[in-house]
Structure 1
Amino acid sequence: MIVGVDEAGRGPLAGPVVAAAVILGEEDIEGLDDSKKLSANRRAELERRIKRSCRWAIGIAEVGEIDRINILQATMLAMTRAVEALAVEPVQVLVDGNRLPAWRYPAQAVIGGDALHPCISAASIIAKEHRDRLMRSYDAMHPGYGWASNKGYGSAGHLEALRRLGPTPLHRRSFAPVAQLELL
């Protein structure tokens, strides 16, 4: 019952932060790696295999929570929600990064863990794919910001749209580029 945990969406100006928790199944899944190193097609293929053969769960911290408690605490909250959604008592939790949520499980932070531990790689893929789908759906609700392609990150096009159109309810008002516009 070793659980791998990773997140997607700490840096964007818009959208939630998403964490995933994964317990690998018995099937060996070839090609697991840090989700950022994989093509979109390969990630989607691996996501299907992970969901079919592993135990997994998602935890989300919404924009309002990010603005209220800060992105680091919101990330820890999303990770906690993901692990708790597994509804099992982990023997150990391996988390990508250098910080851990305050939880009762034995846990270890692993810098670069998404490239070192397959269970963290699987969590990285699940979290990124889930968040990317959310941002594509939000793009349809709030056209003009390019979220289907930039996923809410501060690309030149997104920043220009933010200046032209103003922030949406999905923009993180505690992040400087959005907060600065609010002051104008």
Structure 2
Amino acid sequence: MAGVDEAGRGPWAGPVVAAAVVLDPDCYPEGLNDSKQLTAERRAALRLLLQDCAEIGVGMASVEEIDRLNIHWATMLAMERAVAALPKPCNHVLVDGNRLPRWSHTATAIVGGDALSLSIAAASIIAKTVRDAIMEELCPQHPGFAWRSNKGYGTPEHAAGLRAQGPTLHHRQSFAPVRGWQTLEPRRFRKSAG
């Protein structure tokens, strides 16, 4: 059985990333939890442990696909790609959320699944750490947006970067704050990406 979760539905920039994880019931790391409940250091440590003892598939949908399909269907596409990237087929898929991709796999959607299923929690950790690493790699190429700290989410620093520089090719043009960057007014934004 594979658990599937995504990271990056809400940011203004970067891809949406999904992961599929099949845990070995005889060998999985302790402390698996919803990635949002873990520190960055703990997520990184668990990712390394998972890479040694679980089957992992990662799928992404690009900014172009997000803008063309919308974030919901781009997320579904990333999930499909993650399951397809598993080393071998799985019997059943548990998906965090209330919607399933249009696929042939037998699957169950579980609202709050990253807190209820260890395999979904593992997938949330993989998806989050992969996406965070992408945004950290992009940060030096696009200074002024604070992607190392905000991971592309709509923070005051990110908004200031948009107002000062305009969007990059990594920004989601279909998202209202990016579309309206010239009139983006300072207001309450997220303080961090978690």
Match of 2:180, SS?
helix
Structure 1 residue 140: Cα displacement: 1.2
CA–CA separation in structure 1 for the residues paired with 2:87 and 2:46: 23
Match of 2:12, SS?
coil
**Gap regions ≥5 residues in structure 1:** none
CA–CA separation in structure 1 for the residues paired with 2:79 and 2:183: 32
- Which residue of the partner structure matches residue 54 of structure 1? 54
Match of 2:169, SS?
coil
**Gap regions ≥5 residues in structure 2:** 185-194
- Which residue of the partner structure matches residue 164 of structure 1? 164
Structure 1 residue 144: Cα displacement: 0.9
Q: Which amino acid aligns with 2:19?
A: A
- Which residue of the partner structure matches residue 12 of structure 1? 11
Identity of aligned residues (%): 56
CA–CA separation in structure 2 for the residues paired with 1:65 and 1:87: 25
Residue by residue over 1:7-47, the C-alpha shift from the partner in whole angstroms, topping out at 9 and shown as x without a partner, is: 00000000000000000023032100000000111111110
- Which residue of the partner structure matches residue 20 of structure 2? 21
- Which residue of the partner structure matches residue 30 of structure 2? 30
CA–CA separation in structure 1 for the residues paired with 2:118 and 2:71: 26
Q: Do residues 101 (structure 1) and 101 (structure 2) align?
A: yes
Structure 1 residue 129: Cα displacement: 0.2
Deviates more, 1:146-155 or 1:81-90: 81-90
Structure 1 residue 180: Cα displacement: 1.3
Q: Do residues 113 (structure 1) and 119 (structure 2) align?
A: no
Match of 1:28, SS?
coil
User: Given the two structures, how large is their TM-score scaled by the length of structure 1?
Assistant: 0.97
- Which residue of the partner structure matches residue 3 of structure 1? 2
Give the helix-richer structure, 1 or 2. 1
CA–CA separation in structure 2 for the residues paired with 1:87 and 1:47: 17
Structure 1 residue 182: Cα displacement: 6.6
Structure 1 residue 143: Cα displacement: 0.9
Q: Do residues 126 (structure 1) and 105 (structure 2) align?
A: no
Structure 1 residue 183: Cα displacement: 8.4
User: Given the two structures, how large is their TM-score scaled by the length of structure 2?
Assistant: 0.92
User: Would you say how many aligned residue pairs link Structure 1 and Structure 2?
Assistant: 183
- Which residue of the partner structure matches residue 90 of structure 2? 90
